[in-house]
A = this chain, B = another copy of it.
């Protein structure tokens, strides 16, 4: 065998295998075959339209397309792509989104017309959720946790053919960021954590951006090596919906009471010591927990090693005050968090996989000491529902709930005991999202209950005078006030499958 330079070599070598000959071409055999050298520049991945990018990607009917939810209720990408696919005549697509919300109601029409056949998501809200609950789809929606989704993508269980990822900034080669450091930053979403596994594992990745910035757009969330095509669009979303300006601090006395109790439990749990780690969410009570914790840290001279998850300005403030050494940020909830992620070297963007991935190699959730989570319902086995309302209709998202609950040494669920005359504690929740064996404490405005599995915690907390209830007692208190709720009447049709973080079925959602 001889190559184009005249060098002779054997076609096969025992211990190595077949050899191929240098042919003086770049990527011979691909559609990109070209000269080895392009002195006028190369590798500009920007194509003229979304249609063109879709054509080049090789997308076919029935394939799986993916989206991220970092633009939240301001997202334009999902609707834009589905409308384009509809116009181009695509059918039977599987939509694998990291989450879907109110603004994605137009998907209903694409389901009816056969463009979308199946959905995977962390959550559903608004009209689309109502329609799915009412039996819109032939195939049940698969609900995965953020960590379960990352694991499914990395393990190949969820194979993404083409990822369509919106980006506040991208250079000509595809280095992508959740910030635009080179101009208009009103579309910044901060971390792009949930988009990173998609870009890494999808067969083809198409970036939709309103800001093409100079090369190299580094440091970047998604490196160019994971990007195939780039489309410049006028708008990727509505800035007002992408992040809220500032997260309001609650003055609701019920939320403050819950937060005070939760933070007292954290303080006396044995986990509150130098180098501890925690995650809190965005709900009123959760944010207030962060504030109470701040005061306790200052008072006791205790510092945290890291805070994890969706990051708020409140958490960023603790980092900037030196009370939290590092932030691992999978998603930003407000403009202050976005700013901190842009400015602070130890406020680091992590992928959904690094955050909560459920493979045996573990992830950051496995290093958490304490997490504070919300609940729509909890049952006497401490199983938690964050996905369906008391009417059985889908109205929420799994998020990282089961991931952090499983990883954290102490999982605290906070919720009002009664919401609008509906009790939170039930004999059995409508939908099990997080198994009770991973939930340690339930805190309400009427007091707290500790999972009887955690005798160590009960002992620690009662020894410092914290009065605990059993969860049955909390249920009774609520039933004395508002009575026992009537069970939801479901049909037979399964409209949703709830996957636990290992992608096993933990519950099903039936038509209401």
Residues of A within 8 A of B (CB): 3, 5, 7-10, 13-16, 19-24, 26-28, 30, 32, 35-43, 45, 117-118, 138-140, 142, 154, 173-174, 214-216, 218-219, 223-228, 275, 277, 305-306, 326, 328, 345-346, 348, 350-351, 353-354, 357, 359-364, 366-367, 383, 405-407, 409-411, 432, 435, 437-438, 440, 454, 456, 494, 497, 500, 502-508
Are A328 and B218 within 8 A (Cβ)?
Answer: yes
- A409: chain B residues at CB < 8 Å are 38-41
**Contact across chains for B26 and A364 when beta carbons are under 8 A apart:** no
Chain B nearest CB: distance from A439 CB in Å? 9
Report the minimal beta-carbon distance from A43 to chain B, rounded to whole angstroms.
4
Contacting pair A216 B504 (CB below 8 A): no
Determine which of B36, B411, B435 lies in contact with A5 in the assembled complex, contact meaning CB atoms within 8 Å.
B435
Bound: A346/B21 CA distance, A:
40
Pair A502/B27 contact, Cβ less than 8 Å: yes
Q: Is the CB of B223 within 8 A of A354?
A: yes
Q: Kindly state the separation between the CA atoms of A42 and B244 in the bound complex, as whole angstroms.
A: 35
For the complex, give the distance between the alpha carbons of A7 and B510 in Å. Answer: 12
The reply to whether A218 and B19 contact each other, CB–CB distance below 8 Å, is no
Q: Please tell me which one of the listed residues B26, B218, B366, B503 contacts residue A43 in the complex, with CB atoms under 8 A apart.
A: B366
Residue with the greatest number of chain B CB neighbours at <10 A, chosen from A174, A214, A505, A506: A505
* Contact indicator B214/A21 (Cβ below 8 Å): no
Copies in the complex: 2
Contact (Cβ within 8 A) A437 B24: yes
CB contact between A360 and one of B19, B30, B367 (< 8 Å): that residue? B30
Q: A215-B367, A225-B357 are in contact. Are A406 and B36 (CB under 8 A)?
A: yes
**Also in contact, A361 and B227, with CB within 8 A (given A345-B345, A348-B219, A500-B22):** yes
Q: How far is A490 from B75 in the complex, measured between Cα atoms in Å?
A: 66
Assembled-state Cα–Cα distance A348/B32 (Å): 29
Q: Complex: how many Å from CA A366 to CA B277? A: 42
- With contacts A37-B406, A215-B277 known, what are 15 further pairs, Cβ within 8 A? A3-B506, A13-B494, A16-B139, A19-B497, A20-B504, A22-B435, A24-B437, A39-B410, A45-B362, A154-B225, A173-B362, A174-B361, A218-B328, A218-B346, A225-B361
Q: 26 A-B residue contacts at CB 8 Å?
A: A3-B504, A5-B435, A5-B507, A7-B506, A7-B507, A14-B139, A16-B140, A16-B142, A19-B497, A26-B406, A26-B502, A27-B502, A30-B360, A36-B406, A42-B366, A42-B407, A173-B364, A173-B366, A216-B364, A218-B328, A218-B350, A224-B363, A224-B364, A225-B351, A225-B357, A228-B361
